[in-house]
Amino acid sequence: MKILFLLSVCLSVIFSSGCNDDKKHRLVMATNATFPPYEYLADHKIDGIDPKIVSTIAEALGYELEIQDMAFDSVIAAVQSGKADIAASGITVTEERKKQVFFTVPYVVAEQVIIVKKESKIKGSSDLKGLRIGVQHGTTGDTYVTKNIQEPERFNNGPLAVAALLADKIDAVVVDGEPAEVYIQQRPGLKKLEQPLTFEEYAFAIGKHNPELLKKFNDQLMKLKASGKLDAIIQHYKEINAPGNSGKSFDNTSFIGKFQESLYINFFKDSRYLYLVRGFAVTLEITFFAVLMGIGIGFAVAVIRSTADTTGKLKLADLLCRVYLTVIRGTPVVVQLLIIYFVIFGAVDVDKVLVAVIAFGINSGAYVAEIIRGGIASIDKGQMEAARSLGLGYWQSMREIILPQALKNVLPALGNEFIVLLKETSVSGYIALADLTKGGDIIRSQTYDAFLPLIAVALIYLAVVMLLSYLLGLLEKRLKRNE
């Protein structure tokens, strides 16, 4: 009961801090900030053509703009569910997407192009058949390659596909033309083929439940076009060049010099290590509260199921617990997270940390329940009989005699479950949470270096797991002293 009380207080604090009563005066933009020059991270803020256009229009309409960075294939879902008011991520207008959302008037004509290494023998799209083609998942480049060439290799964002190309994991990347220019500028070993694959139009997506916002946005967008300000914004961001070097001098002829340069670019330039620091704090916050929630749910479900098995009572509650265990253990945690965020809390403005805590807490509770139930079953039945013969009631016997011993027996398994939970939180980026793994992704999207960011994230997780294992070992030794 103490754990449940503490959990309710903690979740209430998170909920109260996460809810915003001023939503009417806020315009929420969903984007995937790995698409320069349209949207990208600069100085730890999301900048680019799309954010600038939307912020200009939001200011004219009297809105305060909030930008949420999430996976590209989630931005339209965010608008559909009402979690965001507008999706702006270099979105191409297609007939399929028109069925799901409203589109504003187009603001730019773009093209899909092919990026290869400079020494590549690929001359055009006809040479791609049978080769390894990388695309960003859910983009029109993905659709075009799938329909007209072959099944591609899909990546979460463009920079990851480019990094795979640089590492010789794929032979070519199909991506939008403007971002391709930025990628090539940052990595001189790449080139863009002259012949585009296809031409397309970009527009902003707005939910079909909000036609009034569509009209206002179109009016402002047309004013920007007529005044020439729209072209000025686009041209300004196209002219912003990514740095051609790290800004510091290193001895590139030695391994140590190259390593130092890579270390500087990945972590110290523009204080990029802060992405990992902040992400780590979010990961710990989610894990801590999800563990509390998982323990509370797990204990309750385990006791109900054990009581039903032993006494034949609580049949309805036992049935509900069985359904809960089947559904939660039978579906991936990332699917549960997306359902809770986009469906259950679709119409509610709830802090994303709270959503993650609920999702991971419910998921963990199912596994904790079966672990504790196994611990209860491991206690000799004679102990319950002895407790009852001494005048203790069933629930008192469970609380004072059975559960303390069961908990000690299953402590290693519980510790393992909490370690698994810590690592499972790495999918929080699907709902625009900047956790530890997302922090590493952001660094990779800016530096195109997969090695150091991934190693750094892995080492942080490893260090935390080793610390947890050490603390659990100390707790086990302490509990064994009374044997």
- Could you list the mean pLDDT of each consecutive 10-residue stretch along the chain, which spans 483 residues? 49 47 73 87 86 94 92 87 91 90 92 92 91 89 91 86 88 89 82 89 94 94 94 86 49 70 82 90 94 91 87 88 94 92 81 92 93 83 79 78 79 85 88 86 77 91 91 78 64
**Contact call for residues 462 and 280 (beta carbons, < 8 A):** no
Joined together, the tokens standing for residue 281 give: 């704090």
What's residue 179's pLDDT?
A: 83
What's residue 457's pLDDT?
A: 93
Q: May I ask the CATH architecture of the domain 273-482?
A: Orthogonal Bundle (1.10)
> How far is residue 312 from each of residues 293, 305, 307, 308, measured CA to CA in Å?
27, 10, 7, 5
- What is the pTM for the complete model shown? 0.69
Structural domain spans, the chain: 22-107+203-244, 108-201, 273-482
What residue spans of 43-98 are helical by DSSP H?
49-61, 72-81, 95-98
Determine the Cα–Cα distance for residues 236 and 5; give it in Å rounded to an integer: 54
Domains 22-107+203-244 and 108-201 share a fold: yes
Determine the Cα–Cα distance for residues 160 and 35; give it in Å rounded to an integer: 11
Domain 22-107+203-244 of CATH type 3.30.1300.10: no
385-418 b/e (C-beta count within 10 Å ≥ 16 → b): eebeeeebeeeebbeebbbeebbbbbbeebbbbb
Determine the Cα–Cα distance for residues 448 and 187; give it in Å rounded to an integer: 9
Helix/strand/coil for 279? helix
Q: May I ask the CATH architecture of the domain 108-201?
A: 3-Layer(aba) Sandwich (3.40)
Determine the Cα–Cα distance for residues 209 and 98; give it in Å rounded to an integer: 13
What's residue 241's pLDDT?
A: 47
Residue with tokens 């509260």, as numbered in its chain: 289
> How far is residue 163 from each of residues 117, 121, 252, 275, 440, measured CA to CA in Å?
11, 19, 20, 19, 14
